[in-house]
Amino acid sequence: MSSLRSDTACRSRAFCRSSVLPPPRDRDSLPADRSIDVRFREYMTDQMGTEERIYEMADLDMTDEARPSLQAYLDSHSRDRHGQLE
């Protein structure tokens, strides 16, 4: 179960980072239904909903095992867990 959690977390961080980077140069070679753009603000507003869209785009099932694992990760890694900028 820990591998599921870390794999999901890695994908989430990669998608968040991609919102500030230019799209990969080979992006146009991928079918449009195999790529998704996730903006940081959108992700932070609805993390689970965004994760569900990512799973759907990747043709993966959000299983009864994956959902609580992912939610536990999101709950334990809140945006302001290290404080806030003022």
List pLDDT tens digits, range 9-55.
Answer: 445 555 544 445 556 677 777 787 778 888 888 988 999 999 999 88
DSSP label of 39: -
In the chain, what are the domain boundaries?
Answer: 2-21+34-70
Q: How far is CA 23 from CA 12, 28, 36, 60, in A?
A: 16, 9, 10, 23
List pLDDT tens digits, range 68-77.
Answer: 999 999 888 8
Q: How far is CA 69 from CA 18, 19, 49, 62, 66, in A?
A: 23, 24, 15, 11, 5
pTM attached to this predicted model: 0.60
Q: Answer yes or no: are the C-beta atoms of 34 and 44 closer than 8 Å.
A: no
